[in-house]
Amino acid sequence: MSCGETFDWHFTQGEDAVIDVTWKDENDSPIDLTGYVARCQGREEYQSASTLFDVSSTGGGIVIDALNGKITISIGNGTTASIAAPISGVFDVEVESNTGIVTNILSGKLIINPEVTKS
């Protein structure tokens, strides 16, 4: 996946929503993410002041496999259960190098369906 890729992320309220992103260069080789931080936010609209979810590699919810260029984003079931569904929105994933360069590596639409089975 190169910079600025798009992806529509579908998940159901109350489930663990997980995606893996591998950032690769023009030769399809993974980019070394040593020293990088990653963050991901979902919002109902681009301009929304509040977030549907907000995770990062420093605050939790994102794990970076630096040598393989892989970022795993996990939105826990407690967080997804608290989202009023059905709802659609937008999200993106940014990485920041240890020199402060911020790159958007993935963005797209969110489609969150209501949960049917309740505990």
CATH of the domain at 104: 2.60.40.10
Residue 88 lies in a domain: yes
Residue 52 lies in a domain: yes
| The model's pTM | 0.92
Domains in the chain, number: 1
Q: Give the pLDDT confidence score for residue 118 in this predicted structure.
A: 79
Q: Give the pLDDT confidence score for residue 5 in this predicted structure.
A: 85
List average pLDDT for each run of 10 residues in the chain, which is 119 residues long. 79 96 93 98 97 97 97 97 96 97 96 91
Name the residue among 92, 101, 103 with its Cα closest to residue 24. 103
Residue 28 lies in a domain: yes
The DSSP-derived string for 59-73 is: TBBEEEEGGGTEEEE
Q: Give the pLDDT confidence score for residue 7 in this predicted structure.
A: 93
Q: Give the pLDDT confidence score for residue 2 in this predicted structure.
A: 53
Residue 11 lies in a domain: yes
CA dihedral angle for residue 67, residue 42, residue 96, residue 63, rounded to 10 degrees = -30
Q: State which residues form the domain around 21.
A: 5-113
Two structure tokens written together for 49: 């002041």
Residue 118 lies in a domain: no
